[in-house]
């Protein structure tokens, strides 16, 4: 007579009910396998589109690659792969209408036929853009990421004001009023050497706070125009050392507080001072400021 188990007792699973070792392994790896399967499906779709495009171009081996790219875009468009969204990241100063014109992505355009390299080249030709990345996000989005140039100084040359970055590249020559607080550098060749001088001035704030403009003379050296009307003639190739010396003289002798027209530091072993005349001569620097 079979033996009855107590009422409510839990039945132990039989040995054959337990999953095998391979079943357990597959269950554990299922989550990892799903993304791979989706990726394979995506590759299969792209391969299908490519096959459709290739057959549409020409049956023979002499088919041109240029029309193949166009046919590829049309084949993808027939499956719904068209541009519907353009996402822009990192834009601050670049005018948006100019940027979108440079991107050149039109709604409804085949997304596979859109040239990422050509769009990037057009975008990087804009003055505010230092670097750009353009990506295709299927099924319908183009993503643009910008690295913009950072305004560093205002360059005045022949009466014209231009915004430049730290590397001396010209960024903009309009709507400069919001950048009035930036340093002013003047003269031919000034943009390429402005960063070194401004870095040296940053180390001597007692001097930097009195500088109105920095003039590049003969594309060789700098002359500083101070707020009190004094001109400081710096030596060629040794501006940083001369500024450190001038800062020490200011702290010990208040040199910049004296009525001086010129402080000539071009000679390494002497300092030439020219007192201010009763009728101060007009500064060669243009009086007007960028607007």
Does residue 71 belong to any structural domain of this protein?
A: yes
Same domain, 161 and 265: yes
Look up tokens 């000034």; give the residue.
Answer: 190
Distance CA 189, CA 186 (A): 9
Same domain, 159 and 254: yes
Same domain, 218 and 247: yes
SS (H, E, C) 70-138: HHHHHHHHHCCCECCEEEEECCCCCCHHHHHHHHCCCCCCECCCCCHHHHHHHHHCCCCEEEEEEEEEC
Does residue 113 belong to any structural domain of this protein?
A: yes
pLDDT per residue as tens digits for the range 128-155: 999 999 999 999 999 999 999 999 999 9
Q: Which of 148, 164, 181 is the last residue of a domain?
A: 148
Same domain, 156 and 269: yes
Q: Please, what is the average pLDDT of the chain?
A: 82
Same domain, 138 and 164: no
Distance CA 237, CA 243 (A): 12
Please list, residue by residue across 200-220, b when 16 or more beta carbons sit within 10 angstroms of its beta carbon and e when fewer do.
bbeebeebbebbebbbbbeee
Domain CATH for 203: 3.40.50.11690
Q: What average pLDDT does range 72-96 have in this prediction?
A: 83
Same domain, 132 and 99: yes
Same domain, 263 and 165: yes
Helices 190-202 and 239-253: angle between axes, nearest 10 degrees:
40
Torsion angles phi and psi, residue 42, rounded to 5: -65, -40
Q: Which of 115, 132, 148 is the last residue of a domain?
A: 148
pLDDT at 277: 82
pLDDT per residue as tens digits for the range 157-198: 999 999 999 999 999 988 899 999 999 999 999 999 999 999
Does residue 186 belong to any structural domain of this protein?
A: yes
Same domain, 164 and 261: yes
Cα–Cα nearest to 151, from 120, 99, 124, 191? 191
The confidence band for 28, taking pLDDT boundaries of 50, 70 and 90, is low
Does residue 9 belong to any structural domain of this protein?
A: no
Residue numbers of the domain that contains 171? 151-275
The domain total for the chain is 3
Does residue 10 belong to any structural domain of this protein?
A: no
Domain CATH for 143: 3.10.20.310
| Distance of alpha carbon 81 from the chain centroid | 30
Same domain, 69 and 156: no
Same domain, 265 and 159: yes
Does residue 43 belong to any structural domain of this protein?
A: yes
Same domain, 186 and 238: yes
Same domain, 102 and 72: no
Q: Is residue 282 over pLDDT 90?
A: no
Q: Is residue 236 over pLDDT 70?
A: yes
Does residue 163 belong to any structural domain of this protein?
A: yes
Does residue 4 belong to any structural domain of this protein?
A: no
10 Å Cβ neighbour count for 78?
14
Q: Which of 148, 183, 201 is the last residue of a domain?
A: 148
**Dihedral, CA atoms, 150, 179, 160, 237, nearest 10 degrees?**
-60
Look up tokens 């295709």; give the residue.
Answer: 136
pLDDT at 24: 62
């Amino acid at each position: 007579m079979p033996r009855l188990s107590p009422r409510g007792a839990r039945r132990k699973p039989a040995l054959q009910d337990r999953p095998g070792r391979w079943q357990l392994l597959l269950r554990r790896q299922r989550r990892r396998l799903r993304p791979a399967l989706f990726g394979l499906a995506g590759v299969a779709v792209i391969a299908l589109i490519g096959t459709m495009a290739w057959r549409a171009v020409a049956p023979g081996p002499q088919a041109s690659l240029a029309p193949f790219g166009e046919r590829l875009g049309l084949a993808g468009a027939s499956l719904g792969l068209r541009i519907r969204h353009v996402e822009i990241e990192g834009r601050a100063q670049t005018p948006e209408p100019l940027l979108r014109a440079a991107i050149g992505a039109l709604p409804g355009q085949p997304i596979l036929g859109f040239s990422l390299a050509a769009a990037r080249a057009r975008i990087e030709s804009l003055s505010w853009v230092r670097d750009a990345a353009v990506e295709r996000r299927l099924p319908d989005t183009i993503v643009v990421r910008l690295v913009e140039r950072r305004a560093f100084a205002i360059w005045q040359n022949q009466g014209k004001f231009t915004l430049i970055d730290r590397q001396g590249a010209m960024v903009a020559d309009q709507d400069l009023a919001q950048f009035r607080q930036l340093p002013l550098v003047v003269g031919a060749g000034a943009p390429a050497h402005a960063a070194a001088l401004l870095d040296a001035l940053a180390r001597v704030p007692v001097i930097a706070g009195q500088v109105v403009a920095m003039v590049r003379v003969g594309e060789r050296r700098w002359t500083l125009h101070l707020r009190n009307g004094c001109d400081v003639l710096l030596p060629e190739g040794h501006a940083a050392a001369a500024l450190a010396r001038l800062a020490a003289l200011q702290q010990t002798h208040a040199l910049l507080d004296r009525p001086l027209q010129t402080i000539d530091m071009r000679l390494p072993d002497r300092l030439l001072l020219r007192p201010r005349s009763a009728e101060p001569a007009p500064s060669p620097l243009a009086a007007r400021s960028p607007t």
